[in-house]
């Protein structure tokens, strides 16, 4: 909204524009020199469209037409420390400084009962995909706040949220975080959408996790955004610094559980822990040392790249299944891993034995058998070294590059059912 361009301006007006209580005690400036810390003039040293003159003499007229620029707040080293508001409807922003540190910014958010929405703007990208121990992964339309909370709260159901949003979205009073509290700026934020595409109501008291990758020193700042369209609402959120995510050792992605069990465990990947709210309204972060169901999982420590869909072994007898960058399930019961021989170059596949020995094509394959020998009747052949993987397509193959090695017929299970000379 900004301060008026003429007429009377009071200290109360200046405080309120700066997202503070109107009666906050602060001097206009100092007698001579430049404005001191704690003064109203210093508070507006980066105002728009231009800063208030920091040099004496000072006058209230110096504030004509000025709009307060919210301060950038340093992130919290303590990942569990929560900030929040129970003041009802509004739009809330916190400008956060992460310095030059790289890593993953892991935000925890709880709406308790009455629905509220959250997103995070960093480096021109809006992050709004959430997960929780209860609901798993939930998404929202690009550029919107992901609205969560209880689905049955009277007057704030999905239907009433959509109806209240109208065609142009909500227009809510804007407040900014000043380091200790959210204060109303006197301005409004419009265009806050509530549609089926960004509403994910469920149960009360669920804590959600949001991960923002910070892969470079710059930019150092990001913006936390929260919309609270319903009356009497309350929520809690943390403002964490970037961290290196906890890691685990596993295999490259495999398309089967047993394949992951038998694959080489030579990859280091990463996960983000979920959390809950404790009795002091701060966050209690889970202590799991390995990824668990509904954890985000990544191929890098900053959370920039989600793991591909598939299976990953995490203990001697356990593998996780990942879907859309989140652990979907955990399976136990790894079987014994068969030794695989190969690779061997065979002919290209033929549907009959007639010409297979003269086929000039080449197929690389592996098989379960005895090292130092060619495959024989009953051996199983694969097109990958990961067992059990994908078996060779049924048909006829020359056993190796030399016609003297003979030919073989493979059935639909990959097993050699005919072994004969060319």
Average pLDDT score, the chain: 90
Phi, psi of 54 (to 5 degrees): -85, 0
What pLDDT score does 386 carry? 62
Hey, which residues does 267 pair with through a beta bridge? 250
For residue 297, is pLDDT > 60?
yes
pLDDT single digits (tens) 213-258: 999 999 999 999 999 999 999 999 999 999 999 999 999 999 888 8
pLDDT single digits (tens) 317-344: 999 999 999 999 999 998 767 667 778 8
What pLDDT score does 36 carry? 76
CB contact set of 277 (below 8 Å; sequence gap of 6+): 82, 110, 205, 207, 236, 283, 284
- Return the percentage of the chain with pLDDT > 90, whole number: 60
Model confidence at 204, pLDDT cuts 50, 70, 90, reads very high
DSSP secondary structure string for all residues of 334-395: --PPPP-EEEEEEPPPBSSSTTGGG----EEEEEES-TTS---TT-EEESSSSSS-PBPPSE
What pLDDT score does 201 carry? 98
Instruction: Show the tokens assigned to 411.
Output: 């059935």
Note the pTM of the prediction, 2 decimals. Answer: 0.74
Summarize the confidence of residues 38-57 as an average pLDDT.
87
Residue ranges per domain, the chain?
Answer: 1-68, 72-238, 247-332, 341-420
Model confidence at 1, pLDDT cuts 50, 70, 90, reads low
For residue 362, is pLDDT > 90?
no
Summarize the confidence of residues 115-135 as an average pLDDT.
97
Model confidence at 192, pLDDT cuts 50, 70, 90, reads very high
Residue tagged 């910014």 (tokens)? 105
Helices (H), 123-241: 158-165
Give the single-character DSSP code of 405. Answer: G
């Amino acid at each position: 909204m900004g301060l008026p361009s003429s007429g009377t301006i009071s200290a109360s007006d200046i405080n309120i524009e700066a997202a503070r209580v109107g009666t906050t005690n602060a001097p206009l400036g100092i007698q001579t020199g430049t404005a001191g810390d704690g003064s109203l003039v210093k508070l507006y040293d980066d105002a728009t469209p231009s800063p208030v003159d920091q040099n004496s003499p000072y006058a209230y007229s110096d504030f004509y037409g000025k709009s307060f620029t919210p301060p950038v707040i340093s992130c919290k080293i303590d990942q569990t420390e929560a900030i929040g508001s129970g003041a009802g409807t509004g739009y809330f922003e916190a400008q956060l400084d992460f310095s030059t540190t790289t890593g993953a910014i892991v935000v925890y958010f709880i709406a308790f009962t009455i629905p509220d929405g959250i997103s995070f703007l960093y480096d021109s990208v809006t992050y709004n995909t959430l997960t929780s121990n209860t609901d798993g992964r939930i998404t929202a339309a690009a550029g919107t706040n992901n609205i969560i909370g209880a689905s049955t709260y009277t007057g704030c159901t999905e239907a009433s949220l959509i109806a209240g949003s109208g065609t142009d979205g909500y227009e809510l009073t804007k407040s900014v975080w000043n380091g200790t509290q959210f204060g109303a700026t006197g301005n409004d934020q419009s265009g806050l959408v509530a549609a089926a595409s960004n509403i994910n109501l469920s149960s009360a008291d669920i804590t959600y996790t949001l991960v923002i990758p910070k892969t470079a020193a710059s930019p150092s700042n990001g913006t936390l955004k929260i919309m609270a369209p319903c009356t009497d609402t309350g929520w809690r959120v943390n403002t964490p610094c970037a961290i290196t995510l906890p890691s685990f050792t596993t295999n490259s992605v495999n398309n089967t559980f047993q394949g992951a069990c038998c694959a080489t465990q030579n990859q280091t990947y990463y996960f983000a822990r979920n959390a809950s709210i404790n009795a002091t309204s701060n966050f209690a972060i889970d202590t799991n040392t390995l990824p668990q169901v509904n954890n985000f999982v990544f191929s890098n420590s900053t959370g920039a790249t989600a793991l591909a869909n598939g299976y990953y072994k995490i203990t001697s007898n356990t593998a996780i299944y990942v879907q859309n960058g989140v652990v979907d399930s955990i399976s136990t019961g790894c079987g014994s891993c068969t030794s695989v021989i190969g690779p061997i170059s065979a002919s290209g596949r033929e549907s009959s034995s007639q010409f297979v020995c003269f086929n000039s094509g080449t197929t690389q394959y592996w098989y379960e058998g005895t090292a130092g020998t060619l495959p024989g009747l009953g051996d199983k052949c694969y097109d990958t070294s990961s067992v059990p993987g994908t078996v060779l397509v049924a048909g006829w193959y020359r056993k190796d590059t030399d016609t003297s090695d003979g030919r073989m017929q493979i059935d639909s299970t990959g097993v050699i059912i005919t072994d004969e000379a060319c």
